[in-house]
């Protein structure tokens, strides 16, 4: 069922290493191997938060094929951004506006249907905003919102932990 | 008296909606206290709370428990305030006494992502308690990242920004007697998208 990265990239649209983000200097990390380069700075920020609270994570460790053509080649797949082994949870982070996440939601539904043994959680823009709000990282949030063309904070903010 | 009324009114104006009234909270806290008292009747548990949000809940809860208990308080650094220092969560105030062999009940005001509590549970379990259980007033599961086994739960609440009864926004509103939803205009938010 597993397929190689080159196949996935061909099927899903390749991402280059340019314009990727790292999570900056941290005191230590529970995640082994070389620090990954993140596709979006919100992912790097979430990695910093997980490091802070000593939650082990892996960045895009697995790719799940979702659909195949008649020849059996994978034509669509999904690689959740994070896997948290300690809690056995895949986490997909999106900072897109709610109205633009339909495609991701569809992929998530397929993934849950095809791989019901895996727990996958979508962290939407509003969830990330709430997290940044909680930690007083409004400057960071403003940067991310500007990059995405999103507006300011909406009212979906959550309380402290 | 006049001043007190004026301050209360100003705070109330910032509340969009009352989620849980003072009476609802008191009723549920009394139930939780009775449940804990029955479960820990002869065990003299240590109730551990995390500053600052939990102190009002702890104060009411412990008075609803007609059994012997010990109290202890901890304070942890928060991510936003600490990213320039160690890069990892730190204990700002540790336990005052040992918990080895004791039954511990962690008393929390709200559980959201569960990240802080997940760290705290590991820290407490490393100190050899006989047992550790969780009592929280508010469970907000929408953004849960670390699964937490909650033994005593006051209320499950929706994904809203709540204040009052110990919960703050920018250190304000902790002294509201109820749990309310903060008006978005207070924190400069725009109206929700249609």
Q: Looking at the domain assignment, is residue B36 inside a domain?
A: yes
Residue of A26, A28, A53 with shortest CB distance to B116: A53
B59 and B167 in contact (C-beta within 8 Å)? no
Q: Looking at the domain assignment, is residue B31 inside a domain?
A: yes
Distance between CA A119 and CA B51 in Å, rounded? 32
| Interface touch A158/B122, C-beta < 8 Å | no
Q: Looking at the domain assignment, is residue B192 inside a domain?
A: no
pLDDT tier for residue B186 given thresholds of 50, 70 and 90: confident
Question: What is the CATH number for B164?
Answer: 3.40.50.2020
Q: What is the pLDDT of residue A39?
A: 84
Domain of B151, in residue numbers: 22-180
Q: Looking at the domain assignment, is residue B157 inside a domain?
A: yes
Q: Looking at the domain assignment, is residue B171 inside a domain?
A: yes
Residue of A49, A51, A157 with shortest CB distance to B161: A157
User: What would the two tokens of residue A102 be?
Assistant: 């339909």
Domain count, chain B: 1
Q: Looking at the domain assignment, is residue B8 inside a domain?
A: no
Distance between CA B46 and CA B74 in Å, rounded? 12
Residue of B79, B80, B88 with shortest CB distance to A28: B88
Q: Please give the residue that has the higher pLDDT: either A81 or B86.
A: A81
Beta partners for residue B104, in sequence order: B46, B132
B182-187: list long-range contacts, CB under 8 Å, 24+ apart. Answer: B182/B14, B182/B15, B182/B16, B183/B13, B183/B14, B183/B15, B183/B16, B184/A153, B184/A154, B184/A155, B184/A157, B184/B16, B186/B14, B187/A133, B187/A153, B187/A157, B187/B161
**DSSP one-letter code for B130:** S
User: What would the two tokens of residue B162 be?
Assistant: 């709540």
Q: Looking at the domain assignment, is residue B3 inside a domain?
A: no
Residue of chain B minimizing CA distance to A47: B87
Nearest to B25 by CA among B72, B64, B65: B64
Nearest to A58 by CA among A35, A78, A39, A40: A35
- Of all residues in chain B, what percent carry a pLDDT higher than 70? 89
pLDDT tens-place string over residues B120-172? 999 999 999 999 999 999 999 998 999 899 999 999 999 888 999 999 988 89
Question: In angstroms, how far is CA A147 from the centroid of its own chain?
Answer: 16
User: What would the two tokens of residue B163 be?
Assistant: 């204040």
User: What would the two tokens of residue A29 be?
Assistant: 């990390």
Distance between CA B174 and CA A141 in Å, rounded? 25
| Interface touch A157/B82, C-beta < 8 Å | no
Nearest to B67 by CA among B102, B104, B49, B42: B42
Distance between CA A142 and CA A65 in Å, rounded? 34
pLDDT tens-place string over residues A98-107? 666 888 888 9
Residue B61 has pLDDT above 80, yes or no: yes
Distance between CA A82 and CA A91 in Å, rounded? 5
Q: Looking at the complex, report in whole angstroms how far the Cα of residue A157 sits from the nearest Cα belonging to chain B.
A: 5
Residue A9 has pLDDT above 60, yes or no: no
Task: Measure the N-to-C terminal CA separation of chain A; round to a whole number of Å.
Answer: 39
The catalytic residues of B are: 112
| Interface touch A153/B188, C-beta < 8 Å | yes
pLDDT tens-place string over residues A108-155? 999 999 999 999 999 888 888 888 888 877 777 777 666 655 544 443
Q: What is the pLDDT of residue B189?
A: 64
């Amino acid at each position: 069922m597993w397929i190689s990265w080159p196949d996935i990239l061909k099927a899903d649209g390749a991402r280059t290493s340019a314009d990727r983000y790292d999570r900056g200097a941290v005191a230590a990390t529970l995640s082994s191997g070389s620090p990954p380069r993140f596709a979006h700075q919100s992912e790097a920020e979430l990695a910093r938060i997980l490091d802070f609270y000593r939650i082990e994570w892996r960045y895009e460790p697995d790719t799940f094929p979702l659909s195949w053509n008649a020849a059996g080649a994978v034509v669509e797949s999904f690689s959740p951004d994070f896997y948290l082994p300690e809690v056995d949870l895949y986490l997909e982070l999106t900072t897109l506006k709610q109205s633009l996440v339909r495609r991701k939601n569809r992929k998530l539904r397929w993934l849950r249907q095809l791989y019901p043994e895996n727990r996958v959680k979508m962290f939407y823009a509003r969830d990330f905003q709430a997290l940044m709000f909680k930690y007083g990282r409004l400057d960071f949030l403003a940067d991310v919102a500007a990059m995405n063309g999103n507006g300011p904070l909406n009212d979906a903010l959550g309380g402290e932990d | 008296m006049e001043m007190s009324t004026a301050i209360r009114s100003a705070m109330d104006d910032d509340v969009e909606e009352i989620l849980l009234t003072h009476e609802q909270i008191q009723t549920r806290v009394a139930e939780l206290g009775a449940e804990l008292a029955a479960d820990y009747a002869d065990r003299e548990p240590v109730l551990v709370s995390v500053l600052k949000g939990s102190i009002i809940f702890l104060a009411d809860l412990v008075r609803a428990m007609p059994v012997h208990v010990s109290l202890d308080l901890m304070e942890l650094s928060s991510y936003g305030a600490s990213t320039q220092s160690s890069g990892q969560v730190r204990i700002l105030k540790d336990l005052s006494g040992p918990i080895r062999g004791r039954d511990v009940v962690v008393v929390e005001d709200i559980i959201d992502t569960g990240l802080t509590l997940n760290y705290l549970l590991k820290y407490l379990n490393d100190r050899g308690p006989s047992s550790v259980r969780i009592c929280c007033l508010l469970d907000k599961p929408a953004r849960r990242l670390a699964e937490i086994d909650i033994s005593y739960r006051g209320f499950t609440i929706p994904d809203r920004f709540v204040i009052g009864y110990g919960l703050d926004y920018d250190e304000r509103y902790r002294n509201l007697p109820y749990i309310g939803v903060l008006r978005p205009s207070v924190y400069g938010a725009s109206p929700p998208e249609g």
